Structure 1
Amino acid sequence: MSDNHQSDPVKRARLRWRARRGLLENDLIVTRFLDEHEASLTDEEVDAFSRLMELSDNELMDLLLARKEPVGEADLPHVHALLARLRAA
């Protein structure tokens, strides 16, 4: 069995747990996205998602609402690509 996100139920549960946010708006957007796309996320997208979940709720909200763009460790092409999908959800 491969050691990726899709084949490991523990990793999938951990991703879902990390998606729980303090701000209801973030929680709704992220949960809706996972409900629809979690099963098809690539490992690169899971990495991007994890990087976004490391941000504070206010930073994440600014990104989701396109008030700001990722900076620092989150300023990567695959993070920008996933963020575009989250914004469209």
Structure 2
Amino acid sequence: MEEREKLNRLRWRCTRRAMLEMDLLLGEFLDRLYPSLTPPQADAFVILADMEDLELWPLVNGSRESSDPVQAEVLALLRDVRVK
């Protein structure tokens, strides 16, 4: 699959969520920070984006921590995103 197509699919998963807050947060992260992630961080973000909102939200808001250190790095970056 071509990189552009992969990015388009990821964008769809990030911006067509059940929670509007997650749409906005993940979409902003994808636009601003995703291009600068390391390959392991990008892979971790894809895994996070594939999670259901009810599973992902506690990780994003910090009420639950990830046991994966790379996911934890990405989650810390997500928590710092300010949605316009």
TM-score by length of 1: 0.77
Deviation at 1:51, TM superposition (A): 1.3
The code of the aligned residue for 1:26 comes to M
Query: How many Å separate the matches in 2 of 1:14 and 1:40?
Result: 18
Aligned ranges for residues 1-89 of structure 1 at < 5 Å? 8-20=3-15, 21-70=17-66, 75-89=67-81
Q: State percent identity of aligned pairs.
A: 39
Deviation at 1:26, TM superposition (A): 1.0
SS of the equivalent of 1:69 reads: coil
Q: Which of the pair is proportionally richer in helix? A: 2
Query: How many Å separate the matches in 1 of 2:38 and 2:8?
Result: 15
Report the number of matched residues: 79
TM-score by length of 2: 0.81
Deviation at 1:66, TM superposition (A): 0.6
Provide structure 2 residue ranges, at least 5 long, that are not aligned to the other structure: none
Larger-gyration structure (1/2): 1
After the TM superposition, which segments of 4 or more aligned residues of structure 1 sit over 6 Å from their partners? none
CA RMSD of aligned residues (A): 1.6
Query: How many Å separate the matches in 2 of 1:42 and 1:82?
Result: 10
Provide structure 1 residue ranges, at least 5 long, that are not aligned to the other structure: 1-6
Query: How many Å separate the matches in 2 of 1:77 and 1:15?
Result: 22
Query: How many Å separate the matches in 1 of 2:34 and 2:80?
Result: 15
Deviation at 1:35, TM superposition (A): 1.6
